[in-house]
Amino acid sequence: MIKIKIAVQKSGRLNQDSLNLLKDCGISIDNGKDQLKASASNFPLEVLYLRNGDIPQYLRDGVVDIAIIGENVLIEKGGDIGIIEQLGFSKCRVSLAVPKEVNYKNIKDLEGARIATSYPNTVKEYFKKFNVTPDIHIINGSVEIAPNIGLADAICDIVSSGSTLFKNNLKEVELMLKSEAVLAVSPSISSDNQKILDKLQFRIQAVLKARKSKYILMNAPNDKVETIIKLLPGMRSPTVLPLAEAGWSSIHTVIEKNSFWEVIDELKANGAEGLLVIPIEKMVL
């Protein structure tokens, strides 16, 4: 039986979110503790648990067909590998940071500076845009300590909350790029596996769309229905159903989660009552 092979981070921040996505796509993974490879019981898919930094090479060599990986890793190690879906989780940024006491003005201040990082290619490309040449020190591991022990003048690393920088007396001075988990595909994927990927991507898109949306129901007097419909930024057309009480209707629609509270205030101000908000499990368009 033909199976598509997907690489997932063995451990770390991407691991559980990746497995949760596959689970939400209705895919059951028969994996035990410490397994490096596992198969799905209800979909032609095999999961390989790999080190994050090794995944781009596995994609390039065709050992795996697809991967869930941080966009920042692909930019650093897999610029030739295609991204077919932005997944919206494990968001972070790659930034430059210097000691808090440094009077940093602009990128020119780092000409010839020692930069500790595990992202040397990203640093080179970023500094090249400003015609600045740093002295790059490649460190695999915790780079935040480098300025404190005199190894570097600045660091380049991924930043989520910024708490690690704060604890190490560092401040963020340059946002180099933003990153999130992505679905990447091998340049040598076969036509048979591409068909399986199309089915998987369809499921992923349905899950992601649902995560970004809310289903809302509300009651409104009939003379307010037209006004309320104009306020709704959701799907093509809301559903309007008459209530048992004369002169009232029930309005059903889907709106994006990010605009929810702003829309709710306007709806209430224009006569909507009894608003009910329901999470969406899947959304197929």
What domains can you pick out in the chain, each with its CATH number? 4-90+180-210 (3.40.190.10), 92-179 (3.40.190.10), 213-279 (3.30.70.120)
pLDDT on residue 32: 60
pTM of the model: 0.85
The two structure tokens encoding residue 224: 């307010």
Residue ranges in the chain whose pLDDT is less than 50: none
Cα atoms found within 13 Å of the Cα of residue 23, Cβ hemisphere only: 8
Give residue-wise pLDDT tens across range 184-226. 999 999 999 999 999 999 999 999 999 888 888 999 999 999 9
Specify the length of the chain in residues: 285
Alpha helices in the chain (DSSP H): 13-24, 55-61, 71-77, 120-128, 163-167, 191-211, 222-231, 260-269
Look up residue 21 and give its amino acid: L
The two structure tokens encoding residue 40: 């799905």
pLDDT on residue 74: 93
Decide if 95 contacts 156 (C-beta within 8 A). Answer: yes
